[in-house]
Amino acid sequence: MAPRELPLLSRRQIEDLIAQGRAVFILDQQVIKADAWMPYHPGGDTAIRHMIGRDATDEVTVLHSPEARERMNKYRIGRIEGTWINFVPPIQGGTFRLSTQVDKAKAEVRTSTASSGSSSLDNSRESSPVFDDTPAPQIRQRRTSKTVPLSTSSATSVSSVEEDDGMTFLDTITKEKIDLDLSKYPALDTTTQTNIIAKYRQLNQRIKDDGLYNCNYLSYAPEVFRYTLLFSCMLFFLHRSWYATSGLFLGAFWHQLVFTAHDAGHMGITHNFHIDTVIGIFIADFCGGLSIGWWKRNHNVHHITTNHPEHDPDIQHMPMFAVSHRFLGSLKSTYYGFVMEYDAAARVLLRFQRYTYHFLLLFGRFNLYRLSWQFLASKHAPRKGPAWWHTYLEILGQVVFWTWFGYFLVYKTIPTNWDRFVFVMVSHMVTMPLHLQITLSHFAMSTADLGEHESFAQKMLRTTMDIDCPPWLDFFHGGLQFQAIHHLYPRIPRHNLRHTQKLVQEFCTEVGIPYALYGFVKGNTIVLDTLGEVSQQAAILAKCQKFLSESDDPLHAH
């Protein structure tokens, strides 16, 4: 018997399903309803929520094994024809109405369309002062001789706060950033972006044909030798009571080991979900005290919403850092579920972030402990579905780590509290280059949201930077210097990324997407400039707010 053909679903029908609260997305022209398995998704439900109403074909393809994609077929409920125009997912502020609500509002819509020439039914996003013509509540232009003294130059004039269109200071900067990206990157029209998608998928097939998804296990032989050497040196100097030197080698051991944990987390070693996860748990939890499960949940969202201030947890570091002016507006994180307040502490810390950036990264590992424990104790750690036992294995790994490291190594072996303090601080600070490498690849890149028409490939290349280094230094960067390549194809084994880079550069040239490649020093300089720019914007905003509060016009007071 021939398989039953899936029904053809209209855009209106799909919107109706989403309005009913269904988790629906498009995969290879087929409609997937993910409600049944979303609570059991090993990578967390948040990543799926960011795909609701969207064509998730590229995201699903690069982040999942072919076997996982095949299992998704059992959740097909229909199919579509033609090019799908993405909705804004509910988690990102998209609004959806039931058919009955639409029918009831048709008369009002006709009236609105006749007067304004546009229909609210065509857009699932609420109006924005940046993207939409509908003006925000008007702010009258002040008629006063007062001026705000500026101590720094800025592309955005404070006078923009006074514009009749009601656009705020932060909205003005947002529009400038969007306009800058629109001038640098390919157009967002359907034809251009469809061509980029087609070329991107052809490149993926070429990568497969060249065998670049295949892991050469012999490439890990030097890695294992390096891990063994570093750990042995740690034990040797610990025995000699050279505690600072011993801590240095332990930190170097952790720094190197996490690269393989990253490979395993992306199924880049055996490509088997459970085997690679167990490898990751052994390295991250048993050897390093960090939760690979937390990392997966966090990292999946990061790969989908890269550099989006509201959605990407990897750039949400308030009040310590702000890499976008938008954090000055007290944004709510859709990942953490709370408002990232631009409060008194942020006003002080962000002023100096250009100078505290490298220093604070020295303590990054301590924050990862906190996030790992929070995750394993939370409802987000999987306790059902195929990964249910991973959580309990991770908890065991945490017990083992703090037993061998915290009790036997630090407490029992090192005699004094001062020596223990030195050993712990040195070993943790030595891992700083890892945190630097991760932030370096994104902090300097665009945080602008170009909307739902931008292809996955263009977005990844617009928000991610590669670091140029000689092949003999690859061991130090651990593959993280190829972040742009990695974001395009996360499951490619680390040791194949340099070869893949050449193919991606050809792709970028063909489709006209700028490829960000900088040296290590230049990359750091750009990051510091970005942090400094946000600090300047915060200073200007403070002067604007002070000016408004002192204004004689009651409409502008406070």
- Residues 218 and 349 both lie in one domain: yes
* CA atoms in the 13 A half-sphere facing the CB of 548: 19
For the segment 391-442, what is each residue's pLDDT rounded down to a tens digit?
999 999 999 999 999 999 999 999 999 999 999 999 999 999 999 988 999 9
SS3 sequence of 359-397: HHHCCHHHHHHHHHHHHHCCCCCCCCCCCHHHHHHHHHH
Average pLDDT, the chain: 87
Residue 337 lies in a domain: yes
Residue 168 lies in a domain: no
The whole-angstrom separation of Cα 434 and Cα 255 is 6
> What does the pLDDT read at residue 145?
34
Domain final position from 62, 92, 122: 92
Concatenated DSSP letters of 311-374 = T-GGG--TTT--SSGGGGG-PBPTTT-SB----HHHHHHGGGHHHHHHHHHTTHHHHHHHHHHH
- Residues 82 and 200 both lie in one domain: no
The whole-angstrom separation of Cα 77 and Cα 100 is 22
The answer to whether 375 touches 381, Cβ cutoff 8 Å, is: yes
- Residues 196 and 83 both lie in one domain: no
The whole-angstrom separation of Cα 475 and Cα 230 is 14
Burial of 43 (0-12, 13-18, 19+ CB in 10 A): buried
SS3 sequence of 161-190: HHCCCCCCHHHHHHHHHHHHHHHHCCCCCH
The answer to whether 313 touches 324, Cβ cutoff 8 Å, is: no
Domain final position from 77, 92, 107: 92
The whole-angstrom separation of Cα 94 and Cα 15 is 11
> What does the pLDDT read at residue 155?
36
- Helix runs in 188-219, H state only: 190-209
Query: Domain range spanning residue 395?
Result: 190-519
Sign of torsion over alpha carbons 22, 26, 27, 28 = positive
> What does the pLDDT read at residue 551?
66
Residue 183 lies in a domain: no
> What does the pLDDT read at residue 110?
63
| 479-485 long-range Cβ contacts below 8 angstroms, 24+ apart | 479/259, 479/262, 479/263, 480/259, 480/262, 480/434, 480/437, 480/438, 480/441, 481/437, 483/441, 483/442, 484/441, 484/460, 484/515, 484/516, 484/517
What's the mean pLDDT in 494-515?
A: 96
- Residues 86 and 195 both lie in one domain: no
- Residues 354 and 461 both lie in one domain: yes
Phi, psi values for residue 518, rounded to 5°: -130, 155
For the segment 276-326, what is each residue's pLDDT rounded down to a tens digit?
999 999 999 999 999 999 999 999 999 999 999 999 999 999 999 999 999
Residue 56 lies in a domain: yes
Residue 365 lies in a domain: yes
Biggest CA pair distance of the chain: 84
Reduced to 3 states, what is the DSSP secondary structure of residue 55? strand
- Residues 75 and 222 both lie in one domain: no
- Residues 83 and 224 both lie in one domain: no
C-alpha distances out from residue 388 to 275, 384, 484, Å: 14, 5, 32
Checking if the pLDDT of 133 tops 60, the result is no
Q: Taking the mean position of all CA atoms in its chain, how far away is CA 197?
A: 21
How much is the CA Rg of the chain, to the nearest whole Å?
25
Residue 159 lies in a domain: no
Count of Cβ atoms closer than 10 Å to residue 508 Cβ: 19
Between these two residues, 322 and 68, which has the higher pLDDT value? 322
Residue 511 lies in a domain: yes
The set of residues, in sequence order, having a beta carbon less than 8 Å from that of 20 and lying 6+ positions away, is: 98
For the segment 4-20, what is each residue's pLDDT rounded down to a tens digit?
689 999 999 999 999 99
- Residues 443 and 320 both lie in one domain: yes
- Residues 80 and 201 both lie in one domain: no
The answer to whether 281 touches 288, Cβ cutoff 8 Å, is: no
Checking if the pLDDT of 40 tops 70, the result is yes
- Residues 77 and 197 both lie in one domain: no
Burial of 69 (0-12, 13-18, 19+ CB in 10 A): middle
For residue 547 the two structure tokens come to 């000016």
Q: Taking the mean position of all CA atoms in its chain, how far away is CA 111?
A: 42
pLDDT band at 108; cut points 50, 70, 90: low
The answer to whether 458 touches 185, Cβ cutoff 8 Å, is: yes
Domain final position from 47, 64, 92: 92
Q: What's the pTM value of the predicted model, to 2 decimals?
A: 0.86
Residue 529 host element (H or E): helix 520-550
CATH number, domain at 69? 3.10.120.10
Instruction: Say how many domains are in the chain.
Output: 2
Residue 527 lies in a domain: no
